[in-house]
Amino acid sequence: MVVTTLVLFPRVDLLVRNIGHWARLDELIEPDAPGLAALESRVRERLAISPPEGEPGAASTARPVDAALVLATTQAVVEDAIPYAWDWETWGVADYVPRVEETLAKGREDCDGRAVVAASLLRRMGHDARLVSDMGHVWVWTPSGQTMSPGELAGGEAFVRQGEHGSEVNLAAVFNLRAIVFDWARNLAYGVAVFPAWREAVLVLLIWGLVLGRRPRWNGAVLGLAVLVAGWWVLRLGGADYWNPRIGLVWLGFGMVAVGVVGAWASRLRVGPPLSGQEA
C-alpha cells in the first residue's frame, strides 16, 4: 500500500485534498474567483453581448443568446486559455481536481480542472452549471445541455454528479452491467494507457514480487512475469483512445494480466517426486 500510494501520489497532501474535492464538487464552483473576469470578457466579446450589471451571476445579456452557442463558446474560451496537460505533468500525481485559482495559476490542466473553470464561468454568467463524471472524464451539465466534451456512457448516466450539498453517486449507473463491461473497463484501460510507463512498471514488478513464494520455481515465475507484462501492454494498446477504445483488446489484456498473476503465484507450489509403489 505504501509503495502504490507513493507511486501514484508522491505528494500525499494532494491525495488528501483530492478526496475532499471529489466528495464536495459543489464547493469547487467559484463564480466569484477573480481570475474569471478576463475569461468572462472573452466569452462576451465572442458572443457580442453586454456585461451584466451588479454582481457575477446576475441577469447577463442585453439580448437573447442561444444556449448551445453559449456552451460552445465557453468551452472554446476555456480550452484556449488552459492547454490540456496530464495531472502527473502539472501536479506530479495520478489525479487531482483543482480549484479555479489553482488551475488559472498553473495555466494548464486536464479535463477536471478545465471543467471546474468552465462551470464556474457559466455560473458567473448566470447559468446553472454542475460537474458530472464517469470517473474517467469530467464535464459540465446545464439544464440547456452539456459542454466540455460530454462523455458517452454505455449506461446512459453519469456515475458522479455535483449535488446541492456535496457529490452524489449514481449507484444504478455505477453497477449497470453495460457500465461494468464497457465504461469501467474503458476508464481503467485508458488510465493505464496514458499514465507514465515507468511508474506502472514499478507496480507490475511489485505485484509480481508479492505473489511469488520465498523459493519459487523460476521458470514458472519468469513465464508468469512475461504474460503479465504482455497483458499490461495489450491494455495500453486497447485503451489508448478514450473515445474509441478497442474493448476486445482491453478485456484480452485483463485476461492476460490475470493469467500472468496466477502463473507467477503457481510457481511457488512445490511438486514432490512421485511415490514409489511401496510407499503408495
Model pTM score: 0.87
List alpha helices for the chain, DSSP H. Answer: 2-8, 12-23, 36-47, 67-81, 87-90, 100-106, 111-124, 171-174, 177-178, 185-194, 197-211, 218-238, 247-266
130 three-class SS: strand
Mean pLDDT on 48-65 = 56
> CA 112 to CA 14: how far, in whole Å?
15
Check pLDDT > 50 for residue 60: no
Place of cell 448551445: 68
What was the pLDDT predicted at 61? 43
Residue-wise pLDDT tens digits, 243-253? 899 999 999 99
> CA 69 to CA 152: how far, in whole Å?
21
CB 206 within 8 A of CB 5: no
What was the pLDDT predicted at 180? 87
> CA 26 to CA 16: how far, in whole Å?
17
Report strand pairing: 160-163 vs 130-133: antiparallel
Residue-wise pLDDT tens digits, 216-268? 889 999 999 999 999 999 999 999 999 899 999 999 999 999 999 999 999 88
Check pLDDT > 60 for residue 58: no
Q: Where are the domains of the chain?
A: 10-174, 177-266
Give CATH for domain 10-174.
3.10.620
Residue-wise pLDDT tens digits, 108-166? 999 999 999 999 999 999 999 999 999 899 999 999 999 999 987 765 678 999 988 88
